[in-house]
Amino acid sequence: MLRRALPARPEARRILLGTLFSAVGRGLTLPFLFIYLTDVRGLTDTRAGLVIGWFGAVTLALSPLAGTFIDRFGARRVVLPCLVIEAIGTGSLALVDSTASAFGVMTLVAIGSSAIWAGQNTILASLTDDGERQRVFGLNFALLNLGIGTGGLISGAVIDVARPITFEVIYLLDAVSYLTPALILLSLPHVGRRPAVATGAKADDRRTGGYLTVLRDRPFRRLVIFGLVLTTCGYAQIEVGFAAYSVRVVEVTPRVVAWALAANTVMIVLSQLLVIRRLEGRSRTRALAAVGAVFAGAWLVLGAAGVVGSGNAVLAALGVVACSAIFGFGETMLSPVMPALTNALATDELRGRYNAMSSMIFGISGVVGPVTAGPLIGAANGRVWVAVVVGGCLAASVLALTLRPLLTAAQDGRPTAAATPEPEPAGAT
């Protein structure tokens, strides 16, 4: 299955290798930024939260500009400097000693982050064809989670709030990890350049095309709405809603939450290749609808754990872990299909903008989800929150099904008539 998921072009394989190395570095620091800013550098909880929120706001604000630059100058010229900026910013976190310096450094990190995801997706799309793209995006997601999980295990074993140098070292290692995909991209001089466009009508399209053109694409507009609903009620709830409900309503310890997140990673790494294989030749919109149903099922399991609560601590803890694992299975379907469908709808001239808008979905939901989770969990002992997120995920499933009639069979990932060989007439030689 791994051999089948690997892209045909060696350049794409090297890009995936860069993803894995940078993900290990990201995993070293991802779970610990809040702890580092508060317990090591002395920021208050409120100020640390504002710093992290500022990072998200800056990244979201710059994402549309990143998409424009990718289309205008090519992904290569945007991703390379952003990887360097990200490395400098991440390494500078080791030197943070005040609220002002934290804001300054996180601004630098946000500038780098704003274009990397969209740019790398654009590069991968340019190195793969429609038939393999879905598999490659799924493999990319599995490698990302494998790297983050590995990095998290390493840093969890060595960091100590009483020894600030342990945090400084992991931030410096994270910075180095961002240079790996940069060096790989530098070794591929023809990868990520702006596609050549013939003179005439297509050249005029490049000059006049922009985000208005992208938003006029009715199928993509429906896909964006689906993504906003699904991620707001799904992904965006993991960091705040899931953790808060688990600790406050289900009454498990933070250690159980950590086990649950580990189960999520294990599920993704072990099942992603199998899911990729099962998705081949099947409707992408139906797969997206299934994602909404799986996410809703995960939240229902967590809601059931809340009903059990402290009455049966073991069963409640198993419910929290099961919720995270089920959610991870849904992610294995979403991760290959969403970017593949985005790039099936995109044109070469506007591919950067399409991928930037797709990444903005997670940025917008990442602001809306955490803000709404707290009040909803505080109402009716969390039952309102469970009802909202379950209902939202099911509504996303309906939106995915309404997208199907707007797509061609090829865009939806279904076999086309042209792809089915005609039977030979009897007696043919």
First to last CA, the chain: 36
Q: Among candidates 211, 212, 208, 186, which has minimal Cα distance to 197?
A: 208
**Whether the Cβ atoms of residue 337 and residue 134 lie closer than 8 Å to each other:** yes
Q: Among candidates 217, 195, 198, which has minimal Cα distance to 348?
A: 195
The stretch 127-135 carries a mean pLDDT of: 88
Q: How far is CA 384 from the centre of its chain?
A: 27
Residue 328: HSE in the Cβ half-sphere, 13 Å Cα cutoff: 22
Q: Compute the 3-state secondary structure of the chain and give helix, strand, coil in percent, each to the nearest 5.
A: 85, 0, 15
Q: Which residues contact 392 (CB under 8 A, 6 or more apart)?
A: 229, 230, 232, 233, 234
**Whether the Cβ atoms of residue 118 and residue 70 lie closer than 8 Å to each other:** yes
The rounded distance, in Å, linking the Cα atoms of 300 and 192 is 43
pTM for the model stands at: 0.83
Tokens found for residue 167: 């945090």
The rounded distance, in Å, linking the Cα atoms of 80 and 179 is 9
Q: Among candidates 422, 418, 398, 402, which has minimal Cα distance to 410?
A: 418
The stretch 158-185 carries a mean pLDDT of: 92
Q: Which amino acid is at 393?
A: C
Confidence tier at 206 by pLDDT (50, 70, 90):
very low
The rounded distance, in Å, linking the Cα atoms of 148 and 169 is 17
Give the model's pLDDT for residue 197. 57
pLDDT score of 356 more than 90: yes
Q: Among candidates 308, 298, 313, which has minimal Cα distance to 255?
A: 313
Give the model's pLDDT for residue 421. 47
**Whether the Cβ atoms of residue 7 and residue 133 lie closer than 8 Å to each other:** no
Residue 257 three-state SS: helix
Q: Among candidates 193, 179, 230, which has minimal Cα distance to 74?
A: 193
Give the model's pLDDT for residue 51. 87
Residue 210 three-state SS: coil
| pLDDT tens digits along 225-245 | 999 999 999 988 886 788 888
Flag the least confident range among 23-37, 84-98, 294-308, 369-383: 369-383
The stretch 158-164 carries a mean pLDDT of: 86
Flag the least confident range among 139-143, 146-150, 235-239: 235-239
pLDDT score of 204 more than 70: no
- Looking up tokens 């990244």 gives 59
**Mean pLDDT taken over the chain:** 87
Confidence tier at 209 by pLDDT (50, 70, 90):
low
Flag the least confident range among 103-107, 205-209, 321-325, 392-396: 205-209
- Looking up tokens 């794409």 gives 12
Give the model's pLDDT for residue 428. 43
Tokens found for residue 185: 């991209």
Tokens found for residue 43: 């920021």
Give the model's pLDDT for residue 419. 47
pLDDT score of 180 more than 90: yes
- Looking up tokens 């997140």 gives 261
Give the model's pLDDT for residue 76. 94
Residue 401: HSE in the Cβ half-sphere, 13 Å Cα cutoff: 10
- Looking up tokens 């580092």 gives 36
The rounded distance, in Å, linking the Cα atoms of 330 and 268 is 9
**Whether the Cβ atoms of residue 170 and residue 35 lie closer than 8 Å to each other:** no
Q: Which residues contact 45 (CB under 8 A, 6 or more apart)?
A: 38
The stretch 39-58 carries a mean pLDDT of: 85
Which 8-state DSSP code applies to residue 424? P
pLDDT score of 336 more than 60: yes
The rounded distance, in Å, linking the Cα atoms of 400 and 212 is 23
- The size of the chain, in residues, is 429
**Domains of the chain, start order:** 1-189 (1.20.1250.20), 210-409 (1.20.1250.20)
- At how many degrees (to 10) do helices 218-233 and 313-345 cross? 160
Tokens found for residue 276: 């990729």
**Whether the Cβ atoms of residue 274 and residue 4 lie closer than 8 Å to each other:** no
Q: Among candidates 11, 292, 33, 255, which has minimal Cα distance to 125?
A: 11
Residue 271 three-state SS: helix
